[in-house]
Amino acid sequence: MSVLAFVTGGTGFVGANLIRLLLQEGYRVRAMVRSGSALHNLQGLDVALVQGNLNDSDLDGKMAGCQVLFHVAAHYSLWQADREMLYHHNVLGTRNVLAAAQRAGIARTIYTSSVAAIGVGAAGVPVDEAYQSPVDKLVGHYKKSKFLAEQEARQAVATGQEVVIVNPTTPIGPWDIKPTPTGDIILRFLRRQMPGYLHTGLNFIDVRDVAKGHLLALEKGRSGERYILGHQNLSLKAFLEALADLTGYPAPRYAIPPWLPLAAAWVDERLLAPLGKPPAVPLDGVRMAGQFMYYDASKAIDELGLPQTPLETALKDAVAWFVERGYVD
């Protein structure tokens, strides 16, 4: 019998790509989904679905018979009002999932963290897994919650569990159903709704390489270690120029002064949101955009064999996926 993998977060961007890879590699998959979740990303796949939440007390029963766990699920929000929800799902949820895995006899767990938990170095200087921003310097409660969730994983390792931590950077590619913030940038570019750009930078990677990195971490990763799953560091300006080369649409020519989105976000979250108006611009998101979030994935490349698919391929496939599914008029 092939290995049975339990996957949380399978309906999301990374999870949907991971499940497809697992099935291609001969794994059987049991995916936990929340009641009422949209299942479009899993349609047509030979996956056993079980309903549940990260903080359920009976997760070990739902994992029964599985040999490995991929804990991909997380709550993502940059709104300060979602602080309690972020810690409830990302920290307490991770603690509960890992405890359930131990009770269920799961042999090995891959925990999907994020480079958000690592933080950023000096402007424009890539950092690796050995680097750690002080937790009080991490911008926003999402980043802080992912840092604290990593501590839960390390505590599980200290009690004897086999847990490998992977830290994806910014994935690009198909099945970005929500979409992610980066997918939203691509969509706004395609819709010609991006008049300017911010002086910021990110590390980008094909989402299918992120999925492969999870499987490689299962096969080769060292328990207790973190592995950055990343590829190419690019400024947002260069990223948009790459999109322009691919699509033929002009890239934004002018940089937006940082104070402008910061002021808009402050008004949104501090003044309008308390009055019942849904905010459009997260304050923490603007603060993050003032940083160059560059990373060095050499450890995952050298130890795991993390693939480095050209960014152009990921962009081309992301654009095609959005267009084919009607995201762009």
Burial status of residue 308 (CB atoms within 10 A of its CB: 0-12, 13-18, 19 or more): middle
| CA 39 and chain centroid, separation | 18
| Nearest of 31, 38, 30 to residue 175 by alpha carbon | 38
CA dist 35 and 56 (Å) reads 12
Which pLDDT value is given to residue 204? 96
Predicted confidence band at 269 (pLDDT cuts at 50, 70, 90)? low
Strand partners, 6: 30, 69
Tell me which of 105-109, 127-131, 142-146, 284-288 is least confident: 284-288
- State what percent of residues in the chain have pLDDT above 70: 88
The confidence score (pLDDT) of residue 195 equals: 81
Q: What is the DSSP string of 64-86?
A: TT-SEEEE--------GGGHHHH
What pLDDT shows up at residue 208?
A: 98
Tell me the β-bridge partners of 21.
none
pLDDT at residue 137 in the model: 87
Tokens representing 322 are: 């959005």
Among residues 21, 229, 228, 223, the alpha carbon closest in space to that of 106 is found at: 223
Average confidence (pLDDT) over 183-211: 90
- Residue 55 burial (10 A CB sphere; 0-12, 13-18, 19+): middle
272: pLDDT strictly greater than 60: no
Question: What does the mean pLDDT of the chain come to?
Answer: 90
Query: Cα–Cα distances in Å, from 263 out to 70, 84, 148, 277?
Result: 40, 25, 30, 16
Domains of the chain: 4-175+204-233+296-303 (3.40.50.720)
What pLDDT is attached to residue 259?
47
Q: What is the pLDDT of residues 235-257, one digit of tens each?
A: 989 999 999 999 999 998 887 75
pLDDT digits (tens, 9 = 90+) for 26-84: 999 999 999 888 899 999 999 999 999 999 999 999 999 999 999 999 987 766 667 78
Contact of 13 with 175, CB cutoff 8 Å:
yes
Residues serving a catalytic function are 142
pLDDT higher than 60, residue 260: no
Burial of 143 (0-12, 13-18, 19+ CB in 10 A): buried
Contact 178, 16 (CB under 8 A): no
Can you tell me the distance from the alpha carbon of 303 to that of 301, in angstroms, rounded to the nearest whole number? 6
Q: Is the predicted pLDDT of residue 262 greater than 60, yes or no?
A: no
- pLDDT reported for residue 154: 97
Give the model confidence (pLDDT) of 285-304 as tens digits: 556 666 788 999 999 999 99
Residues 6+ apart with CB under 8 A from 72: 7, 8, 9, 10, 12, 14, 15, 18, 112, 214
Q: Does this model's pTM top 0.75? A: yes
